Amino acid sequence: MPKEIIFNCTEYETRIAILEDRVLSNFYVERVDERSIAGNIYKGKVVRVLPGIQAAFVDIGLERSAFLYVADIYNETSGVDFFTNGDDNPIEYEKGEHPEQYTHPIEDILREGQEVLVQVSKEPLGSKGARVTTHISLAGRNIVSMPTSYHTGISRKITNEQERGRLSEVIEKLRPEKHGFIARTVSEGKEEAELKGDFDYLSKLWNTIRKKGQQTGAPELVHRELSMTLRAIRDFYTEDVERIVVDSEEEYQELTDFMNSFMPYMKHSIDLYKNNIPIFDHFGIELDIGKMLKKKVWLKSGGYIVIEETEALCAIDVNTGKYVGKRNMEETILKTNMEAVKEIAYQLRIRNIGGIIIIDFIDMEIEANRERIFATLKAEMEKDRNRTSVQKISEIGLIEMTRQRIRKSLRDTMCETCPYCGGRGTVKSSTSVCHKIFRELEREAVYDIAGTFCVLVHPDVAKLLLEDENNTLKNLEKRLGRKIIVETGNGLHRENFEIIPVQ
Protein backbone atom coordinates (compact mmCIF):
# COMPACT_ATOMS: atom_id res chain seq x y z
CA MET A 1 0.00 0.00 0.00
CA PRO A 2 1.74 3.22 -1.16
CA LYS A 3 2.41 5.78 1.55
CA GLU A 4 3.17 9.47 1.74
CA ILE A 5 4.57 11.44 4.70
CA ILE A 6 3.45 15.06 4.79
CA PHE A 7 5.19 17.62 7.05
CA ASN A 8 3.61 20.95 8.01
CA CYS A 9 6.33 22.85 9.91
CA THR A 10 5.89 26.33 11.35
CA GLU A 11 7.66 28.37 14.02
CA TYR A 12 4.96 27.47 16.56
CA GLU A 13 4.19 23.80 15.85
CA THR A 14 4.99 20.77 13.71
CA ARG A 15 2.29 18.51 12.26
CA ILE A 16 2.92 15.22 10.51
CA ALA A 17 0.40 13.22 8.48
CA ILE A 18 0.95 9.74 7.05
CA LEU A 19 -1.29 8.86 4.13
CA GLU A 20 -1.99 5.36 2.85
CA ASP A 21 -3.65 5.35 -0.57
CA ARG A 22 -4.24 9.09 0.06
CA VAL A 23 -6.24 8.29 3.23
CA LEU A 24 -4.99 9.67 6.55
CA SER A 25 -3.65 6.76 8.63
CA ASN A 26 -1.57 8.53 11.29
CA PHE A 27 -1.38 12.07 12.60
CA TYR A 28 1.05 13.71 15.02
CA VAL A 29 1.31 17.24 16.37
CA GLU A 30 3.90 18.85 18.61
CA ARG A 31 3.98 22.44 19.83
CA VAL A 32 7.28 24.26 20.13
CA ASP A 33 6.62 25.13 23.78
CA GLU A 34 5.32 21.62 24.55
CA ARG A 35 8.04 19.50 23.01
CA SER A 36 7.81 15.83 23.92
CA ILE A 37 10.19 14.58 26.60
CA ALA A 38 9.55 10.86 26.02
CA GLY A 39 12.90 9.21 25.30
CA ASN A 40 14.92 11.98 26.97
CA ILE A 41 17.64 10.85 29.37
CA TYR A 42 18.21 12.74 32.62
CA LYS A 43 20.52 12.54 35.56
CA GLY A 44 18.05 12.72 38.42
CA LYS A 45 18.10 12.81 42.21
CA VAL A 46 15.94 10.55 44.37
CA VAL A 47 13.77 12.79 46.56
CA ARG A 48 11.57 10.16 48.19
CA VAL A 49 11.48 6.37 48.50
CA LEU A 50 8.08 4.76 49.08
CA PRO A 51 8.38 1.14 50.31
CA GLY A 52 4.60 0.83 50.54
CA ILE A 53 4.19 0.97 46.77
CA GLN A 54 7.77 -0.10 45.88
CA ALA A 55 8.47 3.10 44.00
CA ALA A 56 10.44 6.32 44.27
CA PHE A 57 10.08 9.93 43.19
CA VAL A 58 12.99 11.34 41.23
CA ASP A 59 13.72 15.02 40.58
CA ILE A 60 14.73 15.37 36.92
CA GLY A 61 14.32 19.13 36.75
CA LEU A 62 10.64 19.24 35.75
CA GLU A 63 7.71 20.83 37.57
CA ARG A 64 6.66 17.48 39.05
CA SER A 65 8.97 14.73 40.22
CA ALA A 66 9.14 11.63 38.02
CA PHE A 67 7.87 8.21 39.15
CA LEU A 68 10.31 5.28 39.22
CA TYR A 69 8.89 1.81 39.93
CA VAL A 70 11.12 -0.92 41.37
CA ALA A 71 10.76 -3.13 38.26
CA ASP A 72 12.18 -0.27 36.18
CA ILE A 73 15.46 -0.16 38.10
CA TYR A 74 18.52 -1.70 36.52
CA ASN A 75 21.24 -3.36 38.59
CA GLU A 76 24.01 -1.01 37.49
CA THR A 77 22.32 2.37 38.09
CA SER A 78 24.87 4.95 39.22
CA GLY A 79 27.56 2.28 39.22
CA VAL A 80 26.06 0.53 42.27
CA ASP A 81 25.56 -3.24 42.13
CA PHE A 82 22.04 -3.51 43.51
CA PHE A 83 21.83 -7.24 42.90
CA THR A 84 23.99 -8.61 45.68
CA ASN A 85 22.98 -10.76 48.62
CA GLY A 86 24.34 -8.43 51.28
CA ASP A 87 27.86 -9.86 51.66
CA ASP A 88 29.23 -8.50 48.39
CA ASN A 89 28.89 -11.85 46.64
CA PRO A 90 26.98 -11.89 43.35
CA ILE A 91 23.62 -13.62 43.48
CA GLU A 92 23.40 -16.91 41.64
CA TYR A 93 20.91 -16.84 38.76
CA GLU A 94 19.10 -19.70 37.13
CA LYS A 95 20.20 -20.51 33.61
CA GLY A 96 18.58 -18.15 31.11
CA GLU A 97 17.44 -15.68 33.78
CA HIS A 98 18.44 -12.07 33.16
CA PRO A 99 19.97 -10.30 36.19
CA GLU A 100 17.92 -7.19 35.49
CA GLN A 101 14.73 -9.19 36.09
CA TYR A 102 15.65 -9.78 39.74
CA THR A 103 14.92 -7.05 42.27
CA HIS A 104 15.35 -6.41 45.95
CA PRO A 105 12.88 -4.21 47.85
CA ILE A 106 13.25 -0.65 46.65
CA GLU A 107 14.36 0.57 50.08
CA ASP A 108 17.43 -1.70 49.73
CA ILE A 109 18.19 -0.28 46.28
CA LEU A 110 17.62 3.46 46.45
CA ARG A 111 18.10 6.10 49.10
CA GLU A 112 17.08 9.75 49.24
CA GLY A 113 19.64 12.04 47.65
CA GLN A 114 21.04 9.29 45.41
CA GLU A 115 21.75 10.25 41.78
CA VAL A 116 20.46 7.99 39.01
CA LEU A 117 20.51 8.03 35.21
CA VAL A 118 16.93 7.63 33.98
CA GLN A 119 14.99 7.76 30.71
CA VAL A 120 11.42 9.03 30.35
CA SER A 121 9.19 6.12 29.33
CA LYS A 122 5.88 8.00 29.71
CA GLU A 123 5.27 11.71 29.55
CA PRO A 124 3.48 13.60 32.34
CA LEU A 125 -0.25 13.03 31.91
CA GLY A 126 -2.92 15.00 33.75
CA SER A 127 -1.90 15.35 37.39
CA LYS A 128 0.74 12.62 37.12
CA GLY A 129 4.44 13.22 36.66
CA ALA A 130 6.57 11.48 34.07
CA ARG A 131 7.33 7.79 34.46
CA VAL A 132 11.01 6.95 34.17
CA THR A 133 13.17 3.86 33.93
CA THR A 134 16.84 3.07 34.31
CA HIS A 135 16.52 0.52 31.49
CA ILE A 136 17.93 2.82 28.83
CA SER A 137 16.98 2.20 25.18
CA LEU A 138 18.31 4.10 22.16
CA ALA A 139 16.48 3.70 18.86
CA GLY A 140 18.39 3.56 15.61
CA ARG A 141 17.07 3.14 12.11
CA ASN A 142 17.22 -0.68 12.09
CA ILE A 143 17.92 -1.66 15.68
CA VAL A 144 17.22 -0.58 19.23
CA SER A 145 20.20 -0.51 21.59
CA MET A 146 19.68 -1.48 25.26
CA PRO A 147 23.03 -0.80 26.91
CA THR A 148 21.73 -1.67 30.39
CA SER A 149 20.35 -5.07 29.37
CA TYR A 150 21.71 -8.40 28.18
CA HIS A 151 18.58 -9.17 26.17
CA THR A 152 18.56 -9.53 22.39
CA GLY A 153 15.49 -10.02 20.26
CA ILE A 154 13.77 -9.70 16.90
CA SER A 155 10.62 -7.71 16.15
CA ARG A 156 7.54 -9.95 16.39
CA LYS A 157 6.36 -8.48 13.10
CA ILE A 158 9.19 -10.31 11.33
CA THR A 159 7.54 -13.71 10.95
CA ASN A 160 9.91 -15.53 8.58
CA GLU A 161 11.86 -17.95 10.80
CA GLN A 162 14.84 -18.09 8.44
CA GLU A 163 15.14 -14.29 8.45
CA ARG A 164 14.77 -14.19 12.24
CA GLY A 165 17.60 -16.67 12.55
CA ARG A 166 19.82 -14.68 10.20
CA LEU A 167 19.22 -11.44 12.09
CA SER A 168 19.94 -13.16 15.41
CA GLU A 169 23.30 -14.35 14.10
CA VAL A 170 24.20 -10.88 12.82
CA ILE A 171 23.27 -9.25 16.15
CA GLU A 172 25.27 -11.77 18.17
CA LYS A 173 28.25 -11.19 15.90
CA LEU A 174 28.16 -7.38 16.06
CA ARG A 175 26.95 -6.54 19.55
CA PRO A 176 29.33 -5.66 22.39
CA GLU A 177 29.40 -8.01 25.37
CA LYS A 178 26.64 -7.47 27.96
CA HIS A 179 24.84 -5.07 25.66
CA GLY A 180 21.29 -5.77 24.48
CA PHE A 181 19.84 -5.09 21.04
CA ILE A 182 16.51 -5.61 19.30
CA ALA A 183 16.16 -5.80 15.52
CA ARG A 184 13.33 -3.50 14.39
CA THR A 185 10.80 -4.46 11.73
CA VAL A 186 12.61 -2.37 9.09
CA SER A 187 15.77 -4.46 9.60
CA GLU A 188 14.21 -7.34 7.66
CA GLY A 189 16.38 -8.11 4.64
CA LYS A 190 19.10 -5.61 5.60
CA GLU A 191 22.72 -6.60 5.01
CA GLU A 192 25.27 -6.88 7.80
CA ALA A 193 27.14 -3.76 6.65
CA GLU A 194 23.99 -1.64 6.96
CA LEU A 195 23.22 -2.99 10.42
CA LYS A 196 26.81 -2.43 11.51
CA GLY A 197 26.39 1.28 10.81
CA ASP A 198 23.58 1.38 13.39
CA PHE A 199 25.62 -0.60 15.91
CA ASP A 200 28.59 1.75 15.61
CA TYR A 201 26.46 4.90 15.86
CA LEU A 202 24.44 3.71 18.87
CA SER A 203 27.54 2.47 20.70
CA LYS A 204 29.22 5.87 20.29
CA LEU A 205 26.01 7.62 21.37
CA TRP A 206 25.80 5.54 24.55
CA ASN A 207 29.45 6.23 25.41
CA THR A 208 28.78 9.96 25.03
CA ILE A 209 25.66 9.77 27.21
CA ARG A 210 27.39 7.72 29.90
CA LYS A 211 30.38 10.07 30.04
CA LYS A 212 28.15 13.15 30.27
CA GLY A 213 26.06 11.45 32.95
CA GLN A 214 29.19 10.86 35.06
CA GLN A 215 30.41 14.44 34.69
CA THR A 216 27.19 16.41 35.21
CA GLY A 217 25.26 17.14 38.39
CA ALA A 218 21.60 16.37 39.10
CA PRO A 219 18.97 17.19 38.03
CA GLU A 220 20.19 17.68 34.47
CA LEU A 221 19.17 16.75 30.91
CA VAL A 222 21.85 14.41 29.56
CA HIS A 223 20.40 13.45 26.15
CA ARG A 224 17.46 14.85 24.17
CA GLU A 225 15.51 12.60 21.83
CA LEU A 226 15.41 13.55 18.15
CA SER A 227 12.96 16.21 16.99
CA MET A 228 9.57 14.95 15.86
CA THR A 229 10.40 15.38 12.18
CA LEU A 230 13.56 13.26 12.43
CA ARG A 231 11.80 10.66 14.62
CA ALA A 232 9.10 10.35 11.99
CA ILE A 233 11.67 9.62 9.29
CA ARG A 234 13.57 7.20 11.52
CA ASP A 235 10.45 5.30 12.60
CA PHE A 236 8.05 5.53 9.65
CA TYR A 237 10.11 5.77 6.49
CA THR A 238 10.06 2.38 4.77
CA GLU A 239 10.46 1.16 1.20
CA ASP A 240 6.71 1.47 0.54
CA VAL A 241 6.83 5.26 1.18
CA GLU A 242 6.55 6.82 -2.26
CA ARG A 243 7.42 10.36 -1.27
CA ILE A 244 8.00 12.81 1.55
CA VAL A 245 6.66 16.36 1.26
CA VAL A 246 7.71 19.19 3.57
CA ASP A 247 6.71 22.87 3.46
CA SER A 248 9.72 24.28 5.35
CA GLU A 249 13.01 24.87 3.59
CA GLU A 250 14.92 24.57 6.87
CA GLU A 251 13.29 21.24 7.76
CA TYR A 252 13.72 20.06 4.18
CA GLN A 253 17.48 20.54 4.45
CA GLU A 254 17.62 18.89 7.87
CA LEU A 255 15.65 15.86 6.67
CA THR A 256 17.83 15.52 3.58
CA ASP A 257 21.04 15.66 5.63
CA PHE A 258 19.66 13.14 8.14
CA MET A 259 18.67 10.64 5.47
CA ASN A 260 21.97 10.98 3.63
CA SER A 261 23.82 10.32 6.88
CA PHE A 262 21.75 7.51 8.35
CA MET A 263 19.92 5.97 5.39
CA PRO A 264 22.39 6.07 2.49
CA TYR A 265 21.15 2.66 1.35
CA MET A 266 17.54 3.88 0.94
CA LYS A 267 16.22 5.47 -2.22
CA HIS A 268 14.37 8.48 -0.97
CA SER A 269 12.47 11.32 -2.54
CA ILE A 270 11.87 14.50 -0.54
CA ASP A 271 9.86 17.27 -2.14
CA LEU A 272 9.88 20.87 -0.93
CA TYR A 273 6.30 22.16 -1.09
CA LYS A 274 6.16 25.72 -2.48
CA ASN A 275 2.47 26.17 -3.33
CA ASN A 276 0.61 29.14 -1.77
CA ILE A 277 -2.24 26.86 -0.67
CA PRO A 278 -1.50 25.47 2.84
CA ILE A 279 -0.01 22.00 2.50
CA PHE A 280 -2.67 20.22 4.61
CA ASP A 281 -5.43 21.89 2.60
CA HIS A 282 -3.77 20.77 -0.63
CA PHE A 283 -3.74 17.13 0.49
CA GLY A 284 -7.23 17.28 2.06
CA ILE A 285 -5.90 16.61 5.57
CA GLU A 286 -7.22 19.67 7.42
CA LEU A 287 -10.84 18.52 7.15
CA ASP A 288 -9.96 15.11 8.62
CA ILE A 289 -8.24 16.70 11.61
CA GLY A 290 -11.42 18.53 12.57
CA LYS A 291 -13.32 15.23 12.62
CA MET A 292 -10.78 13.65 14.99
CA LEU A 293 -11.92 15.77 17.92
CA LYS A 294 -15.62 14.88 17.63
CA LYS A 295 -17.15 12.42 20.09
CA LYS A 296 -19.50 10.87 17.55
CA VAL A 297 -18.04 9.04 14.54
CA TRP A 298 -20.46 7.86 11.85
CA LEU A 299 -20.03 4.49 10.15
CA LYS A 300 -20.73 3.96 6.45
CA SER A 301 -23.76 1.78 7.17
CA GLY A 302 -25.46 4.52 9.19
CA GLY A 303 -24.38 3.25 12.61
CA TYR A 304 -22.02 5.25 14.80
CA ILE A 305 -19.60 5.05 17.70
CA VAL A 306 -19.25 7.51 20.60
CA ILE A 307 -15.80 8.07 22.10
CA GLU A 308 -15.56 9.44 25.65
CA GLU A 309 -12.07 10.10 27.04
CA THR A 310 -11.52 10.52 30.77
CA GLU A 311 -8.35 10.73 32.84
CA ALA A 312 -8.71 7.11 34.00
CA LEU A 313 -9.96 5.39 30.84
CA CYS A 314 -11.66 5.73 27.46
CA ALA A 315 -15.19 4.41 26.92
CA ILE A 316 -16.46 3.63 23.40
CA ASP A 317 -20.12 2.91 22.69
CA VAL A 318 -21.37 1.25 19.49
CA ASN A 319 -24.88 2.03 18.16
CA THR A 320 -26.87 0.95 15.09
CA GLY A 321 -28.07 4.54 14.53
CA LYS A 322 -29.82 4.89 11.18
CA TYR A 323 -28.94 1.34 10.06
CA VAL A 324 -31.93 -1.04 10.27
CA GLY A 325 -30.61 -3.96 8.22
CA LYS A 326 -32.36 -6.12 5.67
CA ARG A 327 -32.95 -9.57 7.15
CA ASN A 328 -32.83 -10.05 10.90
CA MET A 329 -31.66 -8.23 14.02
CA GLU A 330 -28.63 -10.45 14.74
CA GLU A 331 -27.27 -9.87 11.24
CA THR A 332 -27.81 -6.10 11.55
CA ILE A 333 -26.01 -6.03 14.90
CA LEU A 334 -23.12 -8.18 13.64
CA LYS A 335 -22.57 -5.97 10.59
CA THR A 336 -22.61 -2.81 12.72
CA ASN A 337 -20.20 -4.30 15.27
CA MET A 338 -17.84 -5.55 12.55
CA GLU A 339 -17.80 -2.15 10.89
CA ALA A 340 -17.22 -0.52 14.29
CA VAL A 341 -14.22 -2.76 15.04
CA LYS A 342 -12.14 -1.38 12.17
CA GLU A 343 -13.21 2.20 12.87
CA ILE A 344 -12.34 1.84 16.57
CA ALA A 345 -8.85 0.50 15.79
CA TYR A 346 -8.35 3.42 13.40
CA GLN A 347 -9.64 6.04 15.85
CA LEU A 348 -7.49 4.75 18.72
CA ARG A 349 -4.42 5.06 16.52
CA ILE A 350 -5.25 8.38 14.87
CA ARG A 351 -6.24 10.00 18.19
CA ASN A 352 -3.35 8.33 20.07
CA ILE A 353 -5.69 7.11 22.81
CA GLY A 354 -3.96 4.91 25.37
CA GLY A 355 -4.42 3.34 28.79
CA ILE A 356 -7.55 1.36 29.70
CA ILE A 357 -10.21 1.22 26.98
CA ILE A 358 -13.73 -0.19 27.44
CA ILE A 359 -15.78 -0.93 24.30
CA ASP A 360 -19.52 -1.48 24.59
CA PHE A 361 -20.52 -3.46 21.53
CA ILE A 362 -24.17 -4.07 20.71
CA ASP A 363 -25.26 -7.30 22.43
CA MET A 364 -25.11 -10.43 20.26
CA GLU A 365 -26.94 -13.65 21.04
CA ILE A 366 -24.82 -16.04 18.96
CA GLU A 367 -21.49 -17.02 20.59
CA ALA A 368 -19.76 -17.49 17.23
CA ASN A 369 -20.52 -13.87 16.35
CA ARG A 370 -19.04 -12.70 19.63
CA GLU A 371 -15.87 -14.68 18.97
CA ARG A 372 -15.68 -13.23 15.49
CA ILE A 373 -15.80 -9.66 16.84
CA PHE A 374 -13.07 -10.43 19.38
CA ALA A 375 -10.80 -12.10 16.81
CA THR A 376 -11.24 -9.23 14.34
CA LEU A 377 -10.47 -6.56 16.93
CA LYS A 378 -7.41 -8.47 18.12
CA ALA A 379 -6.15 -8.80 14.54
CA GLU A 380 -6.71 -5.09 13.87
CA MET A 381 -4.87 -4.05 17.05
CA GLU A 382 -1.89 -6.26 16.18
CA LYS A 383 -1.20 -3.84 13.32
CA ASP A 384 -0.77 -1.02 15.85
CA ARG A 385 2.76 0.18 16.61
CA ASN A 386 1.85 0.59 20.30
CA ARG A 387 1.57 -2.51 22.47
CA THR A 388 -2.02 -3.63 23.03
CA SER A 389 -3.81 -6.29 25.05
CA VAL A 390 -7.39 -7.28 24.19
CA GLN A 391 -9.58 -9.34 26.53
CA LYS A 392 -12.44 -11.54 25.34
CA ILE A 393 -15.91 -10.06 25.01
CA SER A 394 -17.95 -10.35 28.21
CA GLU A 395 -21.49 -11.63 28.68
CA ILE A 396 -22.87 -8.09 28.51
CA GLY A 397 -21.02 -7.23 25.30
CA LEU A 398 -18.04 -5.36 26.76
CA ILE A 399 -14.42 -5.68 25.67
CA GLU A 400 -11.67 -4.53 27.98
CA MET A 401 -8.34 -3.67 26.39
CA THR A 402 -5.23 -1.62 26.98
CA ARG A 403 -3.08 0.35 24.58
CA GLN A 404 0.40 1.57 25.43
CA ARG A 405 0.31 5.24 26.37
CA ILE A 406 3.59 7.14 25.99
CA ARG A 407 2.47 10.61 24.94
CA LYS A 408 -0.66 12.70 25.28
CA SER A 409 -3.69 11.87 23.20
CA LEU A 410 -4.68 14.19 20.37
CA ARG A 411 -7.49 15.60 22.51
CA ASP A 412 -5.15 16.40 25.40
CA THR A 413 -2.66 17.98 22.98
CA MET A 414 -5.10 20.15 21.04
CA CYS A 415 -7.79 20.88 23.64
CA GLU A 416 -8.04 22.26 27.17
CA THR A 417 -10.64 22.05 29.92
CA CYS A 418 -13.72 24.12 29.09
CA PRO A 419 -13.57 27.30 31.21
CA TYR A 420 -17.36 27.46 31.21
CA CYS A 421 -18.34 24.01 32.48
CA GLY A 422 -15.02 23.27 34.22
CA GLY A 423 -14.63 19.99 32.38
CA ARG A 424 -17.97 18.49 33.45
CA GLY A 425 -19.35 18.61 29.94
CA THR A 426 -22.60 20.10 31.28
CA VAL A 427 -23.79 23.25 33.11
CA LYS A 428 -26.71 23.71 35.47
CA SER A 429 -29.98 24.42 33.75
CA SER A 430 -31.49 27.91 34.00
CA THR A 431 -34.27 26.43 36.12
CA SER A 432 -31.78 24.99 38.62
CA VAL A 433 -30.04 28.37 38.86
CA CYS A 434 -33.41 30.13 39.42
CA HIS A 435 -34.26 27.79 42.29
CA LYS A 436 -30.84 28.34 43.83
CA ILE A 437 -31.44 32.12 43.64
CA PHE A 438 -34.78 31.73 45.47
CA ARG A 439 -33.08 29.80 48.28
CA GLU A 440 -30.28 32.35 48.53
CA LEU A 441 -32.79 35.24 48.69
CA GLU A 442 -34.48 33.55 51.66
CA ARG A 443 -31.09 33.30 53.45
CA GLU A 444 -30.25 36.96 52.70
CA ALA A 445 -33.62 38.13 54.04
CA VAL A 446 -32.81 36.60 57.44
CA TYR A 447 -29.55 38.52 57.91
CA ASP A 448 -30.09 41.72 55.88
CA ILE A 449 -32.71 44.38 56.63
CA ALA A 450 -32.61 45.96 53.16
CA GLY A 451 -36.03 46.58 51.67
CA THR A 452 -34.96 45.71 48.15
CA PHE A 453 -32.71 43.05 46.63
CA CYS A 454 -31.18 43.49 43.16
CA VAL A 455 -30.35 40.13 41.54
CA LEU A 456 -27.70 40.26 38.81
CA VAL A 457 -27.95 37.18 36.57
CA HIS A 458 -27.08 35.77 33.14
CA PRO A 459 -29.54 36.82 30.35
CA ASP A 460 -30.93 33.27 30.00
CA VAL A 461 -31.68 33.11 33.72
CA ALA A 462 -33.15 36.63 33.72
CA LYS A 463 -35.56 35.66 30.95
CA LEU A 464 -36.73 32.62 32.89
CA LEU A 465 -37.17 34.58 36.14
CA LEU A 466 -39.27 37.24 34.44
CA GLU A 467 -41.39 34.81 32.42
CA ASP A 468 -41.90 31.18 33.53
CA GLU A 469 -40.79 31.77 37.14
CA ASN A 470 -42.41 35.20 37.51
CA ASN A 471 -45.28 33.96 39.72
CA THR A 472 -42.79 32.23 42.04
CA LEU A 473 -40.77 35.46 42.20
CA LYS A 474 -43.89 37.53 43.08
CA ASN A 475 -44.93 35.05 45.80
CA LEU A 476 -41.42 35.18 47.24
CA GLU A 477 -41.61 39.01 47.38
CA LYS A 478 -44.85 38.80 49.37
CA ARG A 479 -43.50 36.17 51.76
CA LEU A 480 -40.25 38.02 52.44
CA GLY A 481 -41.78 41.49 52.41
CA ARG A 482 -39.01 42.70 50.09
CA LYS A 483 -38.92 44.01 46.53
CA ILE A 484 -36.82 41.90 44.13
CA ILE A 485 -35.34 43.52 41.01
CA VAL A 486 -33.82 41.34 38.25
CA GLU A 487 -30.92 42.82 36.26
CA THR A 488 -28.95 41.27 33.41
CA GLY A 489 -25.17 40.77 33.63
CA ASN A 490 -23.90 39.88 30.16
CA GLY A 491 -20.45 38.92 31.42
CA LEU A 492 -21.73 36.47 34.01
CA HIS A 493 -21.34 32.69 33.79
CA ARG A 494 -24.81 31.15 33.54
CA GLU A 495 -24.41 29.42 36.90
CA ASN A 496 -23.24 32.57 38.68
CA PHE A 497 -25.33 35.39 40.11
CA GLU A 498 -25.00 38.28 42.55
CA ILE A 499 -27.54 39.50 45.12
CA ILE A 500 -27.08 43.19 46.00
CA PRO A 501 -29.01 44.67 48.99
CA VAL A 502 -30.47 48.09 48.16
CA GLN A 503 -31.48 50.45 51.03
Domains of the chain with bracketed CATH: 3-36+226-287 (3.30.420.40), 41-223 (2.40.50.140), 293-414 (3.40.630), 430-502 (3.40.1260.20)
pLDDT tens-digit readout, 380-434: 998 888 889 999 988 888 999 999 888 888 888 888 888 888 777 888 999 999 9
Q: What is the pLDDT of residue 41?
A: 95
Q: What is the pLDDT of residue 56?
A: 94
Give the C-alpha separation, 169 to 161, whole Å: 12
Give the C-alpha separation, 272 to 12, whole Å: 19
Q: What is the pLDDT of residue 153?
A: 87
pLDDT level of residue 489 (50, 70, 90 thresholds): confident
Cα 310 to Cα 120, 122, 503: the distances in Å are 23, 18, 49
Q: What is the pLDDT of residue 14?
A: 93
Q: What is the pLDDT of residue 74?
A: 64
8 A C-beta contact, residue 317 and residue 306 = yes
User: Average pLDDT, stretch 458-481?
Assistant: 93
Q: Is the model's pLDDT at 89 over the cut of 60?
A: no
Q: What is the pLDDT of residue 301?
A: 85
Kindly list the strands in the beta sheet with 483-488, ordered across the sheet, starting from the edge strand earlier in the chain: 483-488, 452-457, 498-502
Which of 503 and 467 is assigned the larger pLDDT?
467
pLDDT tens-digit readout, 208-240: 999 999 998 889 999 999 988 999 888 888 888
Give the rounded percent of residues in the chain with a pLDDT score beyond 70: 92
pLDDT level of residue 288 (50, 70, 90 thresholds): confident
Give the C-alpha separation, 293 to 410, whole Å: 8
For the chain, the average pLDDT equals 86
Cα 467 to Cα 45, 257, 329, 354, 487: the distances in Å are 64, 71, 48, 48, 14
Strands (DSSP E) contained in 71-226 are 115-122, 131-133, 138-139, 143-146, 152-154, 180-183, 220-223
Q: What is the pLDDT of residue 94?
A: 32
The residues pairing with 319 across neighbouring beta strands, listed in sequence order, are 304
Q: What is the pLDDT of residue 325?
A: 59
Give the rounded percent of residues in the chain with a pLDDT score beyond 90: 47
pLDDT level of residue 98 (50, 70, 90 thresholds): very low
Q: What is the pLDDT of residue 193?
A: 85
Q: Is the model's pLDDT at 293 over the cut of 60?
A: yes
Q: What is the pLDDT of residue 326?
A: 63
Which of 62 and 261 is assigned the larger pLDDT?
62
Give the C-alpha separation, 500 to 474, whole Å: 18
